[in-house]
Amino acid sequence: MKALLRLEDIGPGGYYETTESQMKLRAVADYLYMQKIPFHVGVIPRYINPTLQYDCTISNPFDTISVRFVDTLQALRTRGASLGIHGYSHQYGQSISGEGYEFAYPDCLKDCPPDDPRSSLSDNLHIQRSYAYGRFHMALSAFQAAGLRPDWFETPHYAASEVQRTILETCSWLIYENNPHDPTNRQVTYQHAASIVGRTYYVPTPLGYVSGDAVEQDVTRIMDQVNHYDVNDLASFFYHPFLEFPYIHIRKYAPPYYEERTPLKRLVHHMLSKERRFVNIQDLIYSFMSTQSV
């Protein structure tokens, strides 16, 4: 009976730009660490807000915001976080990071990311020249320049065209999102792919997330849904930690005061009360791989 928690859309801007917001993010990590809960962080390596002409990447060692943000990510790692690539900028055109899309998706009307032609799949050279491959490797390079190691990948809004999905499956053997080839599955699945292990594993988040516009409704929904999950179903969800910030109070001469019964704490306590054990995604995958014939 396993559970997974991912903190979503964490980038060097927006909700996580200021020193205070980063201190609050660390407070969330401290709480999870004290509860012995492994957690995951979906990192947007480059944060762009075209309206404000704001552009900050974790690969810039001369930007004070970037350096402070990278220090925060390192602090989260020491508290048990597994970091993952959540796109490169999680936007395209004039959209804002965290809100916009990065890969092609149906019915786009504005700030539409380009698709890759099917010919991109013809050989390795064409794959490496594709838009999707380029975005993945710009993100990977930013991580490496910042001295960070990503453990997994996640497309922004779980969206990519069929061709781009195939390209991304060659780039990453571990994708932390619902499997678009098997979207209703609540367990680990895999696709045969040209990744380094010949497969790409998908770890889903069937419980979804808590929307900022419907916090109480979503907390109640998730708790109710997990009550009806089978023992082999993953009680997996993601959460935007800025929703916790109103409950965290920075003090000058003492650690932050973190209120009880916040939305996240209620979800965690409920999972534990249902004997759900929070696990690390890599431990989960290695355990799953050991049961599979290659």
- 290 has a pLDDT exceeding 90: no
The count of structural domains within the chain is: 1
Kindly state the percentage of the chain with pLDDT values over 70.
99
Per-residue confidence (pLDDT) for residue 10, from 0 to 100: 98
The model's pLDDT over 45-76, given as tens digits with 9 standing for 90+, comes to: 999 999 999 999 999 999 999 999 999 999 99
Q: What is the reported pLDDT for 249?
A: 98
List the domain range (segments joined by +) for residue 18: 2-290
pLDDT of the residue at 117: 97
What's residue 282's pLDDT? Answer: 95
pLDDT recorded at residue 291:
84
**Model confidence band, residue 158 (pLDDT cutoffs 50, 70, 90):** very high
Q: What confidence tens digit (pLDDT) does each residue in 161-207 have?
A: 999 999 999 999 999 999 999 999 999 999 998 887 789 999 999 99
| CATH number assigned to the domain comprising residue 140 | 3.20.20.370
Locate 19 and state its tokens: 């020193």
The answer on pLDDT for 77 being more than 80 is yes
Three-state DSSP string of the chain: CEEEEEEEEECCCHHHCCHHHHHHHHHHHHHHHHCCCCEEEEECCEEEEHHHCEEEECCCCCCHHHHHHHHHHHHHHHCCEEEEECCCCCCCCCCCCCCCCCCCCCCCCCCCCCCCCHHHHCCHHHHHCCHHHHHHHHHHHHHHHCCCCCCEECCHHHCCCHHHHHHHHHHCCEECCCCCCCCCCCCCEEEECCCCCCEEEECCCCCCECCCCCHHHHHHHHHHHHHCCCCCCCEEEEECHHHHHHHEECCCCCCCEECCCCHHHHHHHHHHHCCCEECCHHHHHHHHHHCCCC
- pLDDT number for residue 197: 78
Confidence at residue 88, expressed as pLDDT on a 0 to 100 scale: 98
Average pLDDT over residues 23-46: 98
Confidence (pLDDT) at 51: 96
Global confidence as pTM: 0.96
pLDDT tens, residue by residue, 226-236: 999 999 999 99
Q: What is the pLDDT of residue 293?
A: 57
